[in-house]
Amino acid sequence: MSFSRSPMPSSPRFFVMSRFSRRFSSRRLGAFLSPSRPRFRSCPRFRSCLRPCPRHRGVAVLVASALVSAPALTACGDTSAGASGTSAGSGAHLNLVGFAVIKSAYDDLGKAFARTAPGKGVTFKGSFGASGAQSRAVVAGQKADVVALSMTPDVDTIVKAGLIDPAWNAGPSQGIVSRSVVVIAVRKGNPKGITGWPDLVEPGVGIVTADPGTSGAAKWNLLAAYSQALGPAKDKAAATAYLSRFVKNVVSWNDSGRTATDAFVKGTGDALISYENEAIAARAAGVEIDYVVPDATFLIENPAAVTRTAPPAAREFLAFVAGPDGQRLLGARGFRSIDNALTVTGVRGANDPAAPFPAVRSLTTVADLGGWATVNAALFDKDTGLVTRLRR
């Protein structure tokens, strides 16, 4: 999921905009957003000055909430291999490469870590974009001390280049630092009465999703649609038939999960397949959508790792992210914890802020389907994958 294919500029005063925000123009945004410039300016009065006209309010609020967090860049940002040998808490500078959706959460994490003894004096520079593109950028030479990506295969790409220890996922959580589930976002009030997967393949229902050719989010979405149709009997024929009807109802394939959200917010389609945390973030930012957590859906697992040349502070930061304090901050941003015993409440934007993460009756994982190698070959191979064939 990404707002831009390019890394963010190093200056904390300017931010890369997505294509939709480049096209967006609103007289009421005033000094905060200039339609003549393909950038955002940071604004010390962000919360009060961003009051666009009602017609564009949903898009603008989502753009601002997700893209702009200027003060946090002193705590979080781009990617890089810092000078090895720097001790934790000694003013190390960490370069972070992440997938777009986690930017605001990692801004919070970076600032909180800087207030701890191991994080004292540590600063961050962040780059956020499509997970696969970020992975390839690191392999191509982009600086990175910490990578936080959408899927394990994106980290493995960097491992194969020799930049991350092959044992990066040897711990109890197997390198996973945040979780979510696939949900169905719908128009405010749910005018189509969509309550689950069967409703999505009815005639006249338009689906918006990301494209698996470019987006990791799309793979999670399509895995959810496919796996729920497999059922307990693991009926591949039924799953193939369902996915065929699902694909025929897709009215908008988008290059990332974030641009899919933009298309939906601007009026395309009747249902958006999305991450739970993305739907929560949109609602918390004032976007008028509802979302449904299906009875059967897919567990999204987001990994993070440090590079071989990262300073010690990078490992301390990753331990903080995976620990209770980090998991609570991620929970506040709509992510499910890797610690099942940890309870997070008061999550703005959730259907029930007091109980934001309802139990799912049937929750499928990548491991349940044989792992990423099996899944990618069966569903997403560019020549023979099921999704590829259904879209022809």
| Residue where one domain finishes, among candidates 23, 51, 68 | 68
Q: Are 270 and 239 contained in the same domain?
A: yes
d(CA 350, CA 347): 6
Q: Which two tokens stand for residue 179?
A: 């979780």
Q: What is the CA radius of gyration of the chain?
A: 20
**pLDDT at 124 (0 to 100):** 96
| Residue where one domain finishes, among candidates 52, 68, 84 | 68
HSE on the CB side for 16, CA within 13 Å? Answer: 19
User: Is residue 333 a part of any domain in this protein?
Assistant: no
User: Is residue 331 a part of any domain in this protein?
Assistant: no
Q: Count of CB atoms within 10 A of residue 324's CB?
A: 12
3 state SS of 348: coil
Profile the chain (392 residues) by mean pLDDT over runs of 10 residues.
Answer: 36 34 37 35 35 41 38 37 43 92 93 96 93 93 96 96 97 96 98 97 97 87 97 96 98 88 95 96 95 98 98 97 97 97 96 97 97 96 96 93
User: Is residue 351 a part of any domain in this protein?
Assistant: no
DSSP-derived secondary structure letter, 9: P
Number of domains in the chain: 3
User: Is residue 22 a part of any domain in this protein?
Assistant: yes
User: Is residue 381 a part of any domain in this protein?
Assistant: yes
Q: What is the CATH number of the domain that holds 96?
A: 3.40.190.10
Q: Where are the beta strands (DSSP E) in 191-295?
A: 207-210, 250-254, 271-275, 289-292
- Domain span at 109: 73-164+307-322
* Residue at 100: amino acid letter: A
User: Is residue 64 a part of any domain in this protein?
Assistant: yes
**pLDDT at 6 (0 to 100):** 37
Q: Are 79 and 42 contained in the same domain?
A: no
**pLDDT at 215 (0 to 100):** 82
**pLDDT at 24 (0 to 100):** 36
Q: Are 90 and 152 contained in the same domain?
A: yes
Q: Are 366 and 284 contained in the same domain?
A: yes
| Residue where one domain finishes, among candidates 68, 84, 113 | 68
Q: Count of CB atoms within 10 A of residue 122's CB?
A: 24
**pLDDT at 34 (0 to 100):** 37
**pLDDT at 45 (0 to 100):** 36
DSSP per-residue string spanning 25-77 = --GGGGGG--TTSSEEEP-TTHHHH----GGGHHHHHHHHHHH--GGGGGT-B
Q: Are 369 and 223 in contact (CB under 8 A)?
A: yes
